[in-house]
Structures are given as C-alpha cells and as structure tokens.
A and B are shown apart, each in its own frame.
Chain A
Amino acid sequence: MILEIVTPDEKIYSGEVKLVQVPGADGSFEVLKNHAPIISTLGKGKVKVVEEDDKEIFFEIDKGVIEVNKNKIILLAEKVL
C-alpha cells in the first residue's frame, strides 16, 4: 500500500506501508492491504504506520481526513505535532 501524509505546510510522509492505524472521529481503526474504499474524518491522536520492514513510525496529528482507495491511502492532516 502507498501512504501519503500531507499537511498544508508540507508533505510529512510518503512511502510503501503494511499497516496504518488512525484516530477516526468515531474511534481508532486500522487499514490493511485491500481495505475497502473509505473516507473518514479524523480526530486528535496518534497515527501508527508500519513500514514494509516492520519498522513502526508514529505521528501525532490534530484533525484530518483519510481516503483509502485501491491500496492508496491519502491522509490529510491539519496539524502534525
């Protein structure tokens, strides 16, 4: 899966990932390979990214929106702390 994390001021992350966990507005959820297309707003919280080589990266975001479609994930965050 390809993940892109973008804020209005810069592109924070871009790369191939295995798993993404995001703080959805209704509760945290995970996106794995072949996830169904989804659009969700995000609240404040941690984004966990697991890269191909099992390395875990964390981002702290405040408000955002995520779109998943055909193994392409776009995460627009208003602010990354």
Chain B
Amino acid sequence: MANLKEIRSRMSSVKTTRQVTSAMKMVSAAKLRRAQEAIIRIRPYADKLHEILGNLSESLESQEDNPYSIDRGSKNILLITINSNRGLCGGFNANVNKQVLLLLENDFAQQVNSDNLDILAIGKNTYDFFRRHGYQITEKNKLYSNLDFEHVGPVVEHIMKDFANAKYDKVVLVYNEFKNAATQILQVEQLLPIVEKETETKKTSVDYLFEPSKTEIVQDLIPRSLKIQFYKALLDSHAAEHGARMTAMHQATDNATELLSSLKLQYNKARQASITNEILEIVSGAEALKG
C-alpha cells in the first residue's frame, strides 16, 4: 500500500494539471468562437467574388493570357504548410507533418532529390519538424500574431510573383480544414496553377456593362481570388487549431478527473488501513498489559 503522503502529493499535482487543462480549454473555446466568426465573415466576400468571376468567365474564351493558369509541369515546387505555432492540440500538427512527409517521399520524391522543392512553413511546428529532418525550409510564423487580410496579402503576392516569374511551376497547400470543433479535415490543395473548378453553370442572361474591359477585370480579379483562397485556408486552419485544442484539452480534463477520483479512493483506503492498524496496536497493547 502506497503511503499517504505520496498519494496526497500526487493528488495535488493532478489537480493542478486539471486546472491548467480546463483553463486552456476555456481559452480555446473563446478563441474558436472568434476564429469561426472570421470564417463566416469572409464567406460572403469569397462567394460574391466567385460569382462575379463566374459571370465573367462565361463570356470569356481565352484563358491563355492569364499568367496564373499556365501549366508548366511540375519541375519546381513550392509546398506551403499551414499549422500552428503551439502544441497541445492533439493530432492537429502531426497530421500535417505526416501528410507532408508522405508527399515528400512519394509524389515529390524526384523534386526533393534534384533540390527543386521549397517548403514554406506557416506555423512553428512544421518548421521545427522539417528543419530537424534536414530540409531547406523558410517560415512565416509571425503571420499568426496579425491574422488579417492586410498582412496575408503581401505573402500571397510574393508567391504569385514567384510563380509568374517561373521560379515555381506548382504551388501546393497543405492545411487542416475546419469542419466543426471536433473534426478537422486534412486538405492538400493546389494553389497554382489555377485548377478549373467545376461551377454550376447557371446561365445568367444579364447583359453586363464592363469597365474597363472584360479581360482587364478578369486579370484584376484572379489574383484577388487567389489571395482569398489562401486567406481562407489560413482562417480555416486557425479555427481548426482552436477546435482541436479545445477537444484535446477537454479530454485531458476528463482524464484528470477520472485519475483524481481513483486516487481519492486509494487514499481513503490507505487512510482507513492505517487507522485500523493503529487501533489494532492499541488494543493488543492493552490486552498485553491486562494479562
């Protein structure tokens, strides 16, 4: 039987841990709500932009003069990984890392060997992970301290410029999509060149006026929609991170509670045993005196 003092100190340490995990859960829940609101706010913008682009591209035949949809094969690749700066969020970060490793070892093995693959990590976790594995990697970890369109825009512009200048032939995003607080869906998405999304072709018979001209508008809107796509991935990942952390911390709190109750039982048993022992000693001592 473990001694009383040992159990007591264990109980107090479990209690402290439980306090920490439940506080982290609360914080994540609050942050999750904010992150979710951000996603909801961007949705109308993204939808409208998509709609306007849809209206335009119907009447536009030549996509060739668009520098962002040229398919040059996959010689030089940029892999963008989005995960979190902090840990304690279950499998959130590990999932991204695992997927990226898988891509590096299979799909892009050739590019890795010929040193034609760059990784851009958003989130410290992936950055540390792949640096340890000896990959060349750049980071944009600071993006999370100011997660708004103003700060994200330049990053995407830079990437788009590199693509237009043929530094990269393909840009791939790996991130967690937010489904709900408990579920994240790992996404591997091609950012560039633009893949034709299958849109429901609702034939709008509206005869729009275009200013300055159709081509110019398309050229202006496509980079913008790319930026939005990237921004949306970031927001998704951000919300998913808090969701994952909330779930993980909830489980940890539950575990601590369970552990605490079993410790309590153990403690009470030990206490009772020691009291019985003492009484036994007294009684037997008295017996001995009597005789």
Which residues of A are in contact with B by a Cβ distance under 8 Å?
Answer: 4, 6-11, 24-26, 29, 36-41, 63, 65, 67, 69, 74, 76, 78-79
Contact = CB atoms under 8 A, between A and B. Distances in A.
B216 A10 contact: no
Given A37-B207, A38-B208, A78-B224, A25 B216 contact: yes
Given A37-B207, A40-B217, A76-B48, 11 more contacts: A8-B228, A10-B41, A37-B208, A38-B209, A39-B209, A41-B211, A41-B212, A65-B49, A65-B221, A74-B48, A78-B224
A37 B42 CA distance: 25
B6 interface: no
Nearest to B232: A8
Contacts of B55: 39, 67
Contacts of A40: 209-212, 217
Chain A interface mostly helix, strand, loop or mixed?
strand
Contacts of A7: 45, 149
B107 interface: no
Q: Closest 5 A-B residue pairs measured CB to CB?
A: A40-B211, A8-B149, A38-B209, A41-B220, A37-B208
A76 B56 contact: no
B41 A67 contact: no
Contacts of B221: 41, 65
Contacts of B64: none
Interface string B204-226: 00111111100011001100100
Interface in B124-173: 148-150, 153
Nearest to A74: B48
> How big is chain B's contact interface, by range?
20 to 34
Given A41-B216, A41-B217, A76 B149 contact: no
Contacts of A37: 206-209
A78 B149 contact: yes
Q: Chain A CB within 10 Å — which of B41, B55, B153, B211 has the most?
A: B211
B211 A9 contact: no
10 contacts: A9-B149, A25-B216, A37-B207, A38-B211, A39-B209, A40-B211, A40-B212, A69-B208, A76-B49, A79-B149
B291 interface: no
Contacts of A41: 211-212, 216-217, 220-221
Contact of A24 (B38, B207, B208, B211): B211
B175 interface: no
Contacts of A8: 41-42, 45, 149, 228, 231
Contacts of A24: 211
B78 to A, nearest CB: 23
Q: Chain B CB within 10 Å — which of A25, A41, A79 has the most?
A: A41
